[in-house]
Structure 1
Amino acid sequence: MVTRIEMLSVEQAKAAAKECGIRESMAGLSVYRALLRHPQLASAVNHLLTTLLFTGNKLDVRLRELLIMRIGWTTGAKYEWTQHWHFAERVGLPPEDVIAVRDWRSSTRLGAADRAVLAAVDDTLERGKISDSVWAECVRHVGSPEQLLEMVIAIGNWNMFSQLLRSVEIPLEDGVKDWPPDGRIPQGGDA
């Protein structure tokens, strides 16, 4: 596995994860094998991820996974798309809905809340902020102020991860097939 920053071995990553309170199961992931070279940073990033994914999340899981997949697709982050394709499957998103984020504006599979969140992702990636009209749609369809805050933080978090994954050239784990389900790569995406 070639990366711009040498990853720790799985054994080294497990030891570092244990020292900084990160679940051992995460240490085998390539992204953690790189992040754990800086344990304090890895711990902080892991805390935010754990909050957004498992322990403190307020945003609907479907909306979160759709926004992550849109970021992965739009930014061409193979690792992000591939890992969250499998995560989205585990939490029950229909594959057709996940595929729809590729061209969400013309999809008939997505509801108003889905569209509002995906528009927020596109606004953020294109303009650096969510426009007033898209924000109004998010208020109407996403929910509480806590959910809206989490949506904004989630967009920023997974955009940061996309930049990390692509800039450091984090490889997929051995045996993981890229760009599921069909191998289609977005324009400018990681091959």
Structure 2
Amino acid sequence: MALVPYLSESDLAEDDRSLLARPINLFRALANSPEALRHHSEFGQWIRHGCELDPRLRELAILQVGYVTASPYEWSHHIKIGHDFGVTDEDVTALIAATAGQEHGLGELESAVLAGAREITRDMRMSDETWAFLHERLGKARLVDLVMVISFYNAVVRILGTLQIDVEPDYAGYLEAFPLPDGHRPAQSPR
């Protein structure tokens, strides 16, 4: 159960109601501080619509953060979102295998993106080897975009965990199909 109430549009001032146009639990919790939600959403919109990093690579990086941190909310939401940007169920299975150091079938670029996401998440920095490979393949601007995406979602998983945000029932099936490494099963909440 979340540590703050999940608000609805009717709980907010008229000027803030549009913040819940997508009434997912994370946003409903962050709505307790409308300005925080506003700025969180602005950065999220840049990631989704303004960032020039390939959307499939972006979603793989976000999924890697969710998997490494065993964040049920992030993992389940971005499996669904990832599907909209070209991530397949096979990619998700391959990500799980790559995280375990097993054969996975992803290409060199995808593998390096996942390695970079794991390194930033676990070590707070990307290794020189991963950086050099990604710099060569993505260039400076897209590599900085990738670092920003990975770092932002490392913040998001900490917000989700600290506020104890519940996974909505619509997303629970993704956790069954693709269990997190510790077998964590989140509490479910009504919308």
Shorter-chain TM-score bucket reads 0.7 to 0.9
- Structure 2 Cα separation of the partners of residues 180 and 90 of structure 1: 18
- Structure 1 Cα separation of the partners of residues 48 and 60 of structure 2: 13
Partner of 1:50: 45
**Aligned mate of 2:115, from 112, 115, 119:** 119
Q: 1:102 to 1:40 in 2, by over 3 A?
A: same
TM-score, normalised with respect to structure 2: 0.87
Q: Displacement, 1:11?
A: 3.5
Q: Is the CA contact 2:93–2:178 (under 8 Å) kept in the aligned structure 1?
A: no
Q: Displacement, 1:23?
A: 5.3
Q: Displacement, 1:67?
A: 0.7
- Most deviating of 167-176 and 64-73: 167-176
Q: Is the CA contact 1:3–1:171 (under 8 Å) kept in the aligned structure 2?
A: yes
Do structure 1's residue 153 and structure 2's residue 148 form an aligned pair?
yes
Within-5 A mapping of 1:55-134 = 56-104=50-98, 105-134=101-130
**1:68 aligned partner, one-letter code:** I
Partner of 1:5: 4
**Residues matched between the structures, number:** 184
**2:133 aligned partner, one-letter code:** E
**1:114 aligned partner, one-letter code:** E
Unaligned residue ranges in structure 2 (runs of 5+): 187-191
**1:86 aligned partner, one-letter code:** K
Unaligned residue ranges in structure 1 (runs of 5+): none
Q: Displacement, 1:154?
A: 0.4
Q: 1:130 to 1:22 in 2, by over 3 A?
A: farther
Partner of 1:165: 160
Q: 1:66 to 1:11 in 2, by over 3 A?
A: same
- Structure 1 Cα separation of the partners of residues 176 and 135 of structure 2: 32
TM-score, normalised with respect to structure 1: 0.87
Q: Displacement, 1:68?
A: 0.7
Q: Give me the identity figure in percent.
A: 25
**Aligned mate of 2:31, from 19, 30, 36:** 36
Q: Displacement, 1:66?
A: 0.5
Q: Deviation per CA, 1:106-141, whole angstroms, max 9, x where unpaired?
A: 233211111111111111122111111110111122
Q: Deviation per CA, 1:131-169, whole angstroms, max 9, x where unpaired?
A: 11110111122x122111110000111111111111111
Q: 1:173 to 1:10 in 2, by over 3 A?
A: farther
- Most deviating of 39-48 and 174-183: 174-183
Q: 4+ residue stretches of structure 1 with deviation over 6 A?
A: none
- Provide the aligned C-alpha RMSD in A: 2.0
Q: Displacement, 1:190?
A: 5.2
Q: 1:44 to 1:156 in 2, by over 3 A?
A: same
Q: Deviation per CA, 1:43-91, whole angstroms, max 9, x where unpaired?
A: 111111000012x111111111101111111101000011111111122
